[in-house]
Amino acid sequence: MSTKARIEEKIAAALEPERLEVLDESHLHAGHAHHDSDHHAAFDGSGETHFRVRVVSPRFSGMGRVDRHRMVNELLSEELAANVHALAIEPAAPGEKTRW
């Protein structure tokens, strides 16, 4: 299963979203500095390493922005510990204005 599919599955199961969009933005970061435990190198934009998660869920009602981000980060802790280098999160409760 792809990293994107795992992210979608975990968020769908935990947050029961009204809207969910998971974008693989890895290709947008080609040429950016990237490092791991062995070396520093320019990232080539391949793989599933940079994602944007847009989610509207009733679970976010009454929660502040930081708590929403924390919830999504905890849901995806395995992916963040493995190969996900960057995660942009755009969370909203139903009825809240979104930019997307």
> Among 7, 6, 5, 3, which residue's Cα sits nearest to residue 89?
7
Average pLDDT over residues 46-65: 93
**One-letter amino acid for residue 100 of the chain:** W
Q: Label residue 46 by pLDDT band (50, 70, 90).
A: low
Rounded to 5 degrees, what are φ and ψ at 24?
A: -85, 110
Q: Label residue 86 by pLDDT band (50, 70, 90).
A: very high
Report all structural domains of the chain as residue ranges with CATH numbers, in order of start.
3-33+44-92 (3.30.300.90)
Residue 39 has pLDDT above 60, yes or no: no
- Euclidean distance between CA atoms 58 and 14, whole angstroms: 11
Rounded to 5 degrees, what are φ and ψ at 45?
A: 85, 0
